[in-house]
A and B are shown apart, each in its own frame.
Chain A
Amino acid sequence: MFQLSTPTVLLLLFCFYGLTFLVSLRVGRKDENVDGYMVSNNSIGFGMAAASMTATWIWAASFYAAASSGYKFGLSGALHYGFWGALMILFIYPFGRRFRELAPKAHTLAEIMHARHGRSSQMILAGSNIVGSMISLMVNFTAAGALVAVLSPLSFIHGVLIAGFGILGYTIWSGFRSSVLTDFGQLIAMIFAAVVIIPIIFFQLGGPELFARGMPNISAEQASFYSKTAILEQGAPYFVAVLAYAIGNQTIAQRLFAVREDLMKSTFVTATIGYASIVIGLGMLGFLALLAGVQPVDGDLNNLIPQMASTYLPPFAVGLFFIMVIGSLSSTADSDLSALSALVMTDVYGKNMAKGKPNPKTMLFVGRMTMVVATMLAVVFASLKLDILTMLIFVGALWGAIVFPVIASLYWGRITNAAFTSAAIAGFVMFLVARFELLELQGVVALFFELFASVGGGVVIGLMAFGFFGRKVGFTLGGLAFLVLAPFAFGFLRDYPVLLSSLTAYGISTVVCVLVSLLSNENFDFDCINERVVAFHYNPVPETSDKPAIEQGDSPCPATR
């Protein structure tokens, strides 16, 4: 394979991170505002917001996994990765509008859960967000190490260290604002590279001739647009994860709180289209590799994209490819750092350690130190080359178990803190049992899980329909989905433990949440959320009392637990 020389790679990395650092200086302030550090000014324009959302959602693994899917499943493979990934952005939109309506000054979703329920629900959501962002950070550093090791004589650890300190360098001072500003440039570089690379590789492989030559050599399943294998092994598990990743990811939540409220729709739609076009387009390289009979080096599908780039691209385009991948991983990693700092600043320090009365300077220091510690940990973990996939499965399941409790908590006033907490725990535990087959999936046990997985399928469809079309359509379609899925699920889903366990997390958490809520008489006043979730920077506590306003008896909203 073609490799870039050490001076070329160092020059590319130096230029990339140097330019990004210079761009970030444009938004640097001597006295940074803590709210700006986490969510900017809540009125970012359409272009910046859509670019940032797209850049954040595209990480290095997006290219590799989409191409792997195209190679493995053929014609429809790239679609089954990129399309559902794009829908994750779109489906958060209707719920995002509700979040903004209830808490326009929020910094994290967990903060809203604190205002709605109290500490345990907040910490479940914040904890899962923190673990997810840490894993994402580690994955992106790992990808940087792997890219540098494959395309240059430098080692894996060189790539990890350069990416780690390069990203920390431009993000630490202005936090989220740096992340958004640099995302724009990084996305434009990514799109430009994709627009150049895809046609070059396509025509290098023979252009339209490739189809006439290659299609007869692939299997009937791979040549079919409606491949059952592709749907069951790639599309369906990913479809199930659509809402989980959207709700569980603080990077997207941060952007929905940052964009100007009237621009949310256009921002989310554009980010959806942008993500789909880039990721599906690069995923097509996997399909082209399949048609051309390319064998991945060492049998590892992750090598496919770098291998195609180094084999079929001229040296300048290999440099472009290098920048594209570095851009994708850096834009996601800086968003992860910003997300982690916001979570620790708001949910750990602001709401718990400082009891809602944070000192802005201390808060900012906490945020910056969080970034330093997170970078160090991610560099160490990346260098250990841990089994990332297993960890991602854990986090994905935890997110699946909180989707219904989080969404329903913001529409149904009867849900309590106990209902939220017990639902999340029950959903996660049952996921573990199904995913790792802690009980043998046979007989009554299998039927039990298949029943709740069918409920989970109904919940996923119901929530998606509810988001866009309201309660009646949501209940109707959710119910219909359950009735249609159940007969197929019994005796069938037990053979697909990934899908079974993911759906079970939704089903169990929903049933527990509803049952425990029905035992209560709570009727939550949603206006209390706006009263409890406030900006930190300009929120002085009255000098006459050392208690927050909501505890002084001048509000109908009781203090949160």
Chain B
Amino acid sequence: MSSYALTLYVMIWPVIAAGVMITLCVSVYRDMRKARRDGTDLV
């Protein structure tokens, strides 16, 4: 494998992790707003 392919192989994981982090944060923010609106507990 070329150096660039190997770089992609190593660096793709933190990029995916960042994507997961953003997804989770957006989802929890929405759930918090909904819970506040409905007067229910988040957990």
Contacts and interface: CB of A to CB of B under 8 A. Distances in A.
Interface string A538-555: 000000000000000000
A45 B25 CA distance: 12
| Dominant secondary structure of chain B at its interface with chain A | helix
Nearest to B17: A277
B3 A47 contact: no
B25 A188 contact: yes
A40 B42 CA distance: 10
Interface in B1-23: 1, 3-4, 6-7, 10-11, 13-14, 16-18, 20-21, 23
A278 B17 contact: yes
State which size class the interface on A falls in: 35 or more
Contact of A45 (B4, B7, B31): B31
Given A199-B14, A209-B3, A184 B20 contact: no
Interface residues of B, number: 27
Contacts of B28: 45, 47-48, 51, 184
A40 B43 contact: yes
B13 A280 contact: yes
A284 B18 contact: no
Interface in A417-431: none
Given A47-B27, A284-B10, A274 B43 contact: no
Nearest to A183: B43
A45 B6 contact: no
Given A40-B43, A45-B31, A277 B24 contact: no
Interface string A177-188: 100110010011
A277 B13 contact: yes
Interface of A: 27, 40-41, 44-48, 50-51, 54, 177, 180-181, 184, 187-188, 191-192, 194-195, 198-199, 202, 207-209, 211-212, 215, 225, 270, 273-274, 276-278, 280-281, 284, 287-288
Interface of B: 1, 3-4, 6-7, 10-11, 13-14, 16-18, 20-21, 23-31, 34, 41-43
Question: Top 3 closest A-B pairs, CB basis?
Answer: A281-B13, A47-B27, A47-B28
